[in-house]
Amino acid sequence: MKDKLVIFDTTLRDGEQSPGASMTQDEKIRIARLLEKMRVDVIEAGFPAASPGDFKSVNAISEIIKDSTVCGLARANPKDIQKAGEALKPAASSRIHTFIATSPIHMQHKLRMQPDEVIDHAVAAIRQARNFTDNVEFSPEDAGRSEFDFLCRVLEAAIDAGATTVNIPDTVGYNLPSQFGTLVKNLMENVPNSDKAVFSVHCHNDLGLAVANSLAAVMEGARQVECTVNGLGERAGNASLEEIVMAVRTRQDEFVCDINIDTTQIVPASRLVSNITGFPVQPNKAIVGANAFAHEAGIHQDGIIKARETYEIMCAEDVGWAANRMVLGKHSGRNAFKERLKSLGFEFASEEDSIAAFTRFKDLADKKHEIFDDDLQALLTESGNISENERFVLKHIETRSQTSLTPVASVVVEVDGEDAKAEEQGNGAVDATFKAIEKIVDSGGLLQLYSVNSITSGTDAQGEVSVRLEKNGEIVNGHGADLDIVIASAKAYVNALNKLCNPEGKVHPQMAQAI
Ligand code: KIV
Ligand code: ZN
């Protein structure tokens, strides 16, 4: 019997810290449901003290998720721990993850604390967290640049205080694989009570080594890896879940531990996260990139036809690549629609939501003959993005483009229940449309990203548009899908405006004062 490697997903917390990757509560719930279906062991659902919205999301995910442990992040201070404990209350299985920095540079410049004070805060936070749950994780932030002897003292005190998992973060992605593996091995050998906690790792990808460092630590005894779908996360991101999982699964000849993940959910999860955040997946990305299983060269294709193993070390189907089947058409009924969505990990919160989404599906099916799983995902992202009390609703759009004439867009947008109309010229139909909408809304938001993706192949495919807007440091993403890319763009822009004009102040866990 092999040891179990715990997969701790932090897409909804560290992933969301990536600039521009903010997600709504509904979007987080959809991702959490898919992670649960994937059998992820621990879902870090957010940082409850960051904002009322984060608190509500962690609370809602705790209500819904039954098969994975739901975790909330908290700085090592009483208020954060209290918030995390309250947010996690409904969870079937909960964990509080508390942290404080331990490297000389962080203690001196960020915390302005002496090492002994840092230990006292860590111990107090862990003891307080144990009043809410007996599953408590402690992280010495910036462990990768902390002094070894001090790290041993902090971890010993943390385990004595009741931490059941101790996590070693390479917060700034500075370590190298052999060095990081040795660090974890030495910690496990030198912390006197190390056998009473699971050792975990949390690696950032600043040098492109997050996965290599994590796996080196697993080779040396770490039994939890913290990772994110598509490697989303601060700066260059975190270790990518799909790469960690498939490395351990594919190289069982080398690893003395195994995972409990349903790998067929990897590609659907990658698409969902990319769809929601507007962060595209590069074509040559391992496991989930469009080319990850494509064989262009004739010699490779010939080999694959004769025996797949000649050039493939994994099966595309095993990571969920076959999932994009033609599933529904205009004659499909509501039950078939609901069942198909259920198999994609989606359940409607209410009958009204289900009816509204079905109506949108029928509209699409009238225009598009074949509806694929990816069409459904886009439809859901859009439905999930539309809430009842939106300030802006796109009512009508008309554009005129002609060779040698300047394109013109005329739009009607409902603003707080009243229709407003505007017409503008632009460099192209999309530019004119955005200018016309902006003339009505006057948001002052700066366009940071505009991307169009063809959801399926063929000229009748839906275009899926992501728009990122920034105002006074607040960044939001909007999404829209339609067979007409100008309409999809207008929907995405209006969706982003609804989020931008409804901002919610948010504290960053690592930049804010620790206490
Ligand atoms: O990178 C980091 O150190 C973190 C901690 C909060 C675990 O994200
Ligand atoms: Zn991190």
Cα separation, 402 vs 425, in Å, equals: 12
CATH superfamily of 3-277: Aldolase class I (3.20.20.70)
CA 30/CA 281 separation, integer angstroms: 19
pLDDT of residue 389: 65
Tokens, residue 281? 């997946």
Q: Which residues contact 428 (CB under 8 A, 6 or more apart)?
A: 401, 407
Homologous superfamily of the 392-500 domain (CATH): Alpha-isopropylmalate synthase LeuA, regulatory domain (3.30.160.270)
Nearest 5°: phi and psi at 470?
-130, 135
Host H or E run for residue 76 = none
Could you tell me the residue ranges of all domains in the chain? Answer: 3-277, 292-320, 334-384, 392-500
- Starting from the CA of residue 101, give the closest ligand: 1
Phi, psi of 30, deg, nearest 5: -60, -40
**Residues whose CB is less than 8 angstroms from the CB of residue 367 and which lie 6 or more positions away in sequence, other chains included:** 483
Q: How far apart are CA 449 and CA 437, in angstroms?
A: 17
CB 339 within 8 A of CB 327: no
Residue closest via CA to ligand 1's atom 1 equals: 171
Q: From 42, 77, 167, 171, give the residue whose CB has the most ligand 1 atoms within 8 Å, as the site to mutate.
A: 171
Sign for the CA dihedral angle at 309, 313, 317, 321 comes to negative
DSSP 467-486: EEEEETTEEEEEEEEESSHH
Q: Are 480 and 458 in contact (CB under 8 A)?
A: no
Residue of 230, 254, 268 whose CA lies nearest to 18: 230
Residues with CB under 6 A from ligand 1: 14, 99, 139, 141, 169, 171, 202, 204, 509
- Angle between helix axes 485-500 and 429-441 (nearest 10 degrees) is 30
Q: Kindly identify the ligand whose nearest atom is closest to the C-alpha of 142.
A: 1
pLDDT of residue 352: 83
Measured between alpha carbons, how far is 493 from 419 in angstroms, rounded to an integer? 17
pLDDT in tens, the chain (515 residues): 899 999 999 999 999 998 778 888 988 999 999 999 999 999 999 999 999 999 999 999 999 999 999 999 999 999 999 999 999 999 999 999 999 999 999 999 999 999 999 999 999 999 999 999 999 999 999 999 999 999 999 999 999 999 999 999 999 999 999 999 999 999 999 999 999 999 999 999 999 999 999 999 999 999 999 999 999 998 999 999 999 999 999 999 999 999 999 999 999 999 899 988 888 898 899 999 988 887 655 556 666 667 777 777 899 999 998 655 656 888 888 888 888 887 776 777 788 888 888 888 888 888 887 788 778 877 877 665 555 568 899 999 999 999 989 999 999 999 999 999 999 999 999 999 999 999 999 999 999 989 888 877 778 888 889 899 998 888 888 888 889 999 999 999 999 998 887 656 677 787 655 55
One-letter amino acid at 136 equals: V
Name the closest-CA residue to atom 5, ligand 1.
Answer: 141
Q: Are 509 and 75 in contact (CB under 8 A)?
A: yes
